[in-house]
């Protein structure tokens, strides 16, 4: 299974790199995953919300469609010059998300990355989780915002706040590789899962 985490300038460090590490550790525990960071457009470097430069070897595209795509947030609530809100305004990343979802990719949004899923039109009339500062905005996209840590519709998953990316990654491991591998990763990282996973 190919899992990609898409990075754009201004993405939040924790919302993207925490699930990356958790998913990488699942491979060590026996999960049949390939996990990679990809840029939202053809480029070799992406800059995080706090200015860390991250090198990437590939970019998001239909021709290299992942089985699971994780979309981080960052910059939305700050109305930053770079980040998820700017990506929503530009429109290219939401268009790619919509096309990948239509082609069969399971799409997961972490924190305000879910707003990019909403801009892509795939949260309309669906239940979703969202950071508390963006809940009212998400409702304007005709989404039903729930106060669960993770909301799983099968082909669309949303995770609530910044740290929920760890729980999202553990849930993806449990769902696609089994509860025993998820538990092994959780134990190895000395982490205790938080909140509830709501499933459609």
Interval 53-66: pLDDT, tens? 999 999 999 999 99
Please report, rounded to a whole number, the percentage of residues in the chain having pLDDT higher than 70. Answer: 100
In 67-88, which positions are buried (b, 16+ CB within 10 angstroms) versus exposed (e)? ebbbbbbbbbbeeeebbbbbbb
What are the CA-CA distances from residue 86 to residues 8, 90, 144 (Å)? 10, 6, 23
The rounded distance, in Å, linking the Cα atoms of 35 and 58 is: 12
Average pLDDT over all residues of the chain: 95
Q: Which domains does the chain have, with CATH numbers?
A: 2-199 (3.40.50.880)
Query: What is the model's pLDDT at position 35?
Result: 98
Query: What is the model's pLDDT at position 91?
Result: 96
The rounded distance, in Å, linking the Cα atoms of 106 and 27 is: 19
Whether the predicted pLDDT of 76 surpasses 80: no
Mean pLDDT of the region 19-26: 98
The rounded distance, in Å, linking the Cα atoms of 48 and 45 is: 10
Whether the predicted pLDDT of 135 surpasses 90: no
Whether the predicted pLDDT of 77 surpasses 90: no
């Amino acid at each position: 299974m190919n899992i990609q985490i898409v990075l754009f300038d201004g993405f939040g460090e924790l919302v993207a790199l925490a699930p990356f590490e958790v998913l990488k550790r699942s491979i060590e525990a026996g999960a049949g995953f390939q996990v990679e960071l990809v840029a939202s457009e053809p480029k070799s470097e992406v800059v995080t919300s706090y200015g860390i430069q991250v090198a990437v070897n590939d970019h998001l595209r239909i021709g290299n469609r992942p089985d699971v795509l994780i979309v981080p947030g960052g910059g939305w609530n700050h109305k930053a010059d770079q980040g998820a809100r700017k990506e929503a305004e530009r429109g290219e990343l939401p268009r790619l998300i919509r096309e990948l979802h239509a082609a069969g990719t399971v799409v997961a949004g972490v924190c305000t990355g879910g707003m990019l899923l909403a801009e892509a039109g795939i949260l309309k009339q669906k239940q979703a989780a969202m950071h508390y500062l963006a809940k009212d905005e998400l409702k304007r996209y005709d989404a039903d915002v729930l106060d669960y840590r993770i909301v799983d519709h099968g082909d669309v998953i949303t995770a609530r706040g910044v740290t929920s990316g760890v729980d999202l990654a553990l849930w993806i491991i449990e769902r696609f590789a089994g509860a025993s591998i998820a538990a092994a990763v959780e134990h190895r990282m000395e982490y205790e899962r938080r909140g509830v996973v709501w499933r459609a």
